[in-house]
Chains A and B, each alone.
Chain A
Amino acid sequence: MDFDWQVAWNSVPFLLQGAWLTIQLTTIAVFFGIILGTITALLRLTKSPFKYLAIAYTDFMRGTPLLVQIFIIYYGFPPLIQRPIPAYIAAVIALSLNSGAYVAEIIRSGIQSIEIGQTEAALSLGLTYRQTMRHIILPQAFKRVIPPLGNEFIALLKDSSLVSVIALEELVRKAQIVIGRNFRPFETYFVVAIMFLIMTVSISQLVSYLERRLKVGE
């Protein structure tokens, strides 16, 4: 059986709709992941009891499969709260929570990589711990963790295909639908792979651009 370019080409518009959902889900999850991850990283570095909550959260999210997390949120919680959770919302929650845990570890290592002298200089000027974090440590840490954050987001983009199991029509789910009609898995998945590749390469490009732009003052 030859590779049929026409079949591949015909699947593109429909698959693009799925790719768009993939981009949406990933972008939203990245956004919440960074917020959640930063808060978690900061909590882990304090001496408050919340520290243990942060540790439990990261350990759970990193130690269980994303697929199981999606199932727990989509199938597990609705009976508890006695109302259904829309697939889109469940996907966003699962991906954000999962990404937040990985981002937290990345940011924590970024914070810890900043020389202790920076904290000492800030404290000696009378800045509070909070001001020191906000003005001195976090800006430097974020700059340093851009490359690993980029990797995390590429991983998240690919992992977002898992939400196809709760019938959310992102890229992979769309492909399954297309194949149900054209019976051409090879061409269709080929197009899917190319689309993923374009998205991930774009993220790496964006990351290297940010890295170059923020190089000043390192």
Chain B
Amino acid sequence: MPIIQVKDLHKKFKSLEVLKGISTEIHRGEVVVVIGPSGSGKSTFLRCLNFLETPTSGQIFFNGEEIIPNKNLNVIRQEMGMVFQRFNLFPHMKVIDNVTLAPMKVRGLAEAEAIERAYTLLDKVGLRDKADSYPEQLSGGQQQRVAIARALAMQPQVMLFDEPTSALDPEMIGDVLDVMKELAKEGMTMVVVTHEMGFAREVGDRVFFLDQGLLLEENTPAQLFTNPQHPRTKEFLSKVL
């Protein structure tokens, strides 16, 4: 059974149809990289997976269970970590509190346990020494790595990444990508919207090419990058590679 199944997903903002019927499956342990020109709907697609955008029509299934707001959405969101382009750390809390908040309030973890888990994760992203800093005292790359640790602290089954390196200075991007590569190596199921083609090629198990609200092509990176089938894919790749 796929961990995420998308059936005929449509999303309209007023009269603008951003997603025009997307169906696909994502399997456990897979790293899916979503690429496409800006305005193609790739971020909207990702945000529909955990209902930060409510689909206009269509269904999303998580482990075979259809996501329905006011029924199971909240519980399923606990299983889908998300990392945002603009980090969205909680500025009024120290790094450590950012990471322990959800495990304690949502999962009901004891404080000591939550703190221990947080330090393990901060170690993993190389920021143990920043535990008592406030987000504003960190660089963008550090903030994003804390954001990854914060999402991982819930021990989710899937991680969603929404252009995680787009707001970063070039020299910060590598650190964040390294953390993501490490996660992928550990077998985390990941859906990554990105413009980092190197990452897509190196880490992706499958690459989705979205254009004008449609999933035009999906394939292994080796196939998609060297032998794109759709003319739009060819055109896009010729510009970004």
- Chain A residues near B (Cβ < 8 Å): 115, 117-118, 120-128, 131, 135-136, 139-140, 143, 216-218
Contact = CB atoms under 8 A, between A and B. Distances in A.
Contacts of B82: 120-121, 124
A127 B105 contact: yes
A215 B147 CA distance: 22
Contacts of A126: 74-75, 77-78, 102, 106, 154
Contacts of A117: 84, 86, 88
Interface string B50-62: 1010000000000
Contact of B74 (A121, A128, A216, A217): A128
30 contacts: A117-B84, A117-B86, A118-B88, A118-B90, A120-B84, A121-B82, A121-B88, A122-B90, A124-B81, A124-B151, A125-B81, A125-B151, A125-B154, A126-B74, A126-B75, A126-B77, A126-B102, A127-B105, A136-B90, A139-B92, A140-B90, A140-B91, A140-B92, A216-B134, A217-B93, A217-B94, A217-B135, A217-B136, A218-B91, A218-B92
Contacts of A127: 101-102, 105-106
Contacts of A128: 74
A126 B147 CA distance: 15
Nearest to A120: B52
Contacts of B80: 124
Looking at chain B, what size class is its interface with the partner chain?
Answer: 20 to 34
A127 to B, nearest CB: 6
B92 A217 contact: yes
Given A126-B102, A131-B105, 19 more contacts: A115-B88, A117-B84, A120-B52, A121-B82, A121-B84, A121-B89, A124-B52, A124-B81, A124-B160, A125-B102, A125-B150, A125-B154, A135-B105, A139-B92, A140-B90, A140-B92, A217-B91, A217-B94, A217-B136
Contacts of B160: 124
Contacts of B78: 125-126
Contacts of B105: 127, 131, 135
B101 A135 contact: yes
Given A131-B105, A217-B134, A124 B50 contact: yes
A150 B35 CA distance: 49
Nearest to A216: B134
Contacts of B52: 120, 123-124
Interface in B64-112: 74-75, 77-78, 80-82, 84, 86, 88-94, 101-102, 105-106
Nearest to A131: B105
Contacts of B136: 217-218
Contacts of B92: 139-140, 143, 217-218
Nearest to B50: A124
Contacts of A123: 52, 77
B74 A120 contact: no
B64 to A, nearest CB: 19
